A and B are shown apart, each in its own frame.
Chain A
Amino acid sequence: MTARVLVGVKRVIDYAVKIRVKPDNTGVVTDGVKHSMNPFCEIAVEEAVRLKEKKLVQEVVAVSCGPQQVQETIRTALAMGADRGIHVEVSGKDYDSLGPLQVSKILAALAKKEEASLIILGKQAIDDDCNQTGQMTAALLDWPQGTFASELVIEGDKVKVVREIDGGLETIKLNMPVVVTADLRLNTPRYATLPNIMKAKKKKIANMKPGDLGVDMTSRVEVLRVDEPPQRQAGVKVESVEDLVSKLKEAGRI
């Protein structure tokens, strides 16, 4: 049985919220805006909990990096069935510039510290859409990676991953320890049950700082400006297919 699964969970602006850019164009408005767990992270937690229910893993540890508020996200993971949580405190400017490189360094350090043999992450976050953290974490640890997973099967000390790729589905077999990133069709996350919400209250969340893990938080990326997407223009009606083709040619689209 695999000892420990590490699951990364990110607190993001809720998918249903209408995003507004800050007047100074330095970012988006987050104050007072509804936040929730990144949907792909929910799928990652669900997969880890299912592995535990099948007795293929012993312990599920949920990790999040950020300010005080990310504890809500960790507790949601606990309410879904994770055993304990780790809150890596990152706030202020460090949080503003937090990106996949720093997070993957933190996850790599934690994986070694916790002796995890499986890391499951969401394939990407719905705020920055980076799709990098899983890949970087695997590279830092020199572990194999199975990204865009729509199926995950543990077979002894190997992991079979079915990946969603442009051409269709690709099945690979990886030697543990591995990093897997969850895609949409991996599973349907459960609703937290009331008894599990109650149990989550008693589960432990450890606090630590990136410094405790020897991680340098300096960012190599600087955000210069954030703008709204251009307003959608009204369409134009045409009378015939010939008209349509000539208009598309005029606009340089074909």
Chain B
Amino acid sequence: VFGTGHTLPELHQMLRQTCRDYADKELAPIAGQLDKTHTFPAKQIRELGAMGVMAVEVPESLGGAGMDYLAYSLAVEELSRGCASTGVIVSVNNSLYLGPVLKFGTDEQKKQWITPFTTGERVGCFALSEPGNGSDAGAASTMARQEGDCWVLNGTKAWITNSYDASAAVVLATTDKTLKHKGISAFLLPMPHPGLSLGKREDKLGIRASSTANLILDDCRIPHGNLLGQCGMGFKIAMQTLDSGRIGIASQALGIAQASLDCAADYAHKRSAFGAPIAKMQAIQFKLADMAVAIESARLLTWRAALLRDAKQPYTKEAAMAKLSASEAATFVSHQAIQVLGGMGYVTDMPAERHYRDARITEIYEGTSEIQRLVIANQVLKEYQ
């Protein structure tokens, strides 16, 4: 990509095309309806599973596609361009659920918790945030104690994507409060499960086809072997998982932004005012130019983060930059797209209003824009120490 060709490798081009075709034919036509009815796209998720998209990085031996993170980023962007909800369902399954199990799981755990989640038949979720703490992940108050050969979990997790549709969760809980964030551990929780109940489905502004709810753990018992990694490793697992997840969300934001630009540019050619298509007016042209630059720069940052991760190089700063720029691009571009469409941008006849609503969450979840700035500043300052 950044080498002599300046184009994506053929494999990645083919993958991008197949995901784009799928999004155009199977997602875009139903996205409005899915949003209106808050319906989980179960059939489409199974089809995407069959295509290998639900487990892009998972090795073929475990049922995945065995491809790299650049491929994953392209897939999520193209799918999100058709339907942002589908994009986040795919991203959460790949990055936040399969990611940590792949990296920190034992061979036994991988067989049990990865393979059934590659086909689209089952999806997973990731439970870190709580009603009392989002950004302040270290303050997690969900507790896990040992009792015989079980772990017993108590507490509440908040804002969990895929909650109502998931068959498993990676849950972060405190095993030793005295060690503060070094006393947090990660657990594998089957869903449904005795001692686990779900809160009400959140009624959201956007990404409404994906379910979001609290996970309520009330003396929830899980086998001892459900500990992921070692005791006290939870915070590290969460932070590394989020680094990867940020590339996924950046890709989702790019898809939303691109869909908005597609909508606005197409409209500008067709809509006339003062005797000419509005595409001829500089005010519109300047908007479209700013929108295109915002997307392209965020996309290159996202690809760079993915390529660094694929090369097994540090990528925390770049992933945060990607997520920050892509999410701000999504809100900016979708906002301007409505402006280009005028009144038509405000009604549900056009997808612009849905893109605007879908875009907003990308600046919040998987690390707010404020947290991204702290992460980036932290990395930058280290370079000057």
Contact = CB atoms under 8 A, between A and B. Distances in A.
A192 interface: yes
Interface of A: 36, 72, 75-76, 79, 191-195, 197-198, 200-201
A194 B71 contact: yes
Contacts of A194: 15, 18, 51-53, 56, 65, 67, 71, 75
Nearest to A34: B17
Which of the listed residues A75, A79, A193 has the most CB atoms from chain B within 10 Å of its own CB? A193
B15 A191 contact: no
B72 to A, nearest CB: 10
A244 to B, nearest CB: 31
A213 B60 CA distance: 40
Contacts of B66: 195, 198
A198 B69 CA distance: 14
Contacts of B67: 194, 198
B95 to A, nearest CB: 16
A200 B56 CA distance: 17
B60 A200 contact: no
Contact of B11 (A36, A191, A197): A197
B21 interface: yes
Given A72-B10, A193-B52, A198-B67, 8 more contacts: A75-B14, A76-B14, A192-B18, A192-B51, A194-B67, A194-B75, A195-B65, A198-B11
Contacts of B75: 194
B22 A201 contact: no
Contacts of B17: 36
Interface residues of B, number: 20
B21 A191 contact: yes
Contacts of A72: 10, 14
B270 to A, nearest CB: 12
B52 A200 contact: no
A135 B50 CA distance: 36
A145 to B, nearest CB: 31
A75 B14 CA distance: 9
Given A79-B14, A198-B66, A200-B14, A191 B22 contact: yes
Contacts of B22: 191
Nearest to B52: A194
A96 to B, nearest CB: 26
B10 A198 contact: no
Contacts of A75: 10, 14
7 contacts: A36-B17, A79-B18, A193-B51, A194-B51, A197-B18, A198-B67, A201-B10
Contact of A198 (B51, B53, B65): B65
3 pairs of A and B residues whose beta carbons are closest in the complex: A194-B52, A194-B65, A193-B51
Contacts of A201: 10-11
A200 B18 CA distance: 14
Contacts of A193: 50-52, 65
Interface in B10-66: 10-11, 14-15, 17-18, 21-22, 47, 50-53, 56, 60, 65-66
Given A191-B21, A191-B22, A191-B51, A197 B60 contact: no
Interface of B: 10-11, 14-15, 17-18, 21-22, 47, 50-53, 56, 60, 65-67, 71, 75
A197 B15 contact: yes
Which of the listed residues A36, A193, A194, A195 has the most CB atoms from chain B within 10 Å of its own CB? A194
Given A198-B65, A198-B66, A198-B67, A192 B14 contact: yes
A102 to B, nearest CB: 28
Contacts of B60: 195
A175 to B, nearest CB: 37
Given A191-B21, A191-B22, A197 B50 contact: no
Contacts of B47: 191
A13 B369 CA distance: 42
A193 B71 CA distance: 13
A245 B65 CA distance: 63
Contacts of B53: 194
A79 B17 CA distance: 12
Contacts of B65: 193-195, 198
B14 A191 contact: no
Contacts of A200: 14
Nearest to B14: A197
A195 B67 CA distance: 8
A198 B52 CA distance: 11
Contacts of A198: 11, 65-67
A160 B264 CA distance: 50
Contacts of A195: 52, 60, 65-66
Contacts of A197: 11, 14-15, 18
Contacts of A79: 14, 18
A72 B9 CA distance: 12
A205 to B, nearest CB: 12
Nearest to B54: A194
A195 B62 CA distance: 12
B71 to A, nearest CB: 7
A77 to B, nearest CB: 11
A160 to B, nearest CB: 30
A191 B10 contact: no
A191 B23 CA distance: 11
A76 to B, nearest CB: 7
B203 to A, nearest CB: 33
Which of the listed residues B18, B60, B67, B75 has the most CB atoms from chain A within 10 Å of its own CB? B18
Nearest to B48: A191
Nearest to A36: B17
A155 to B, nearest CB: 30
A36 B20 CA distance: 13
Which of the listed residues B52, B56, B75 has the most CB atoms from chain A within 10 Å of its own CB? B52
A201 B71 CA distance: 15
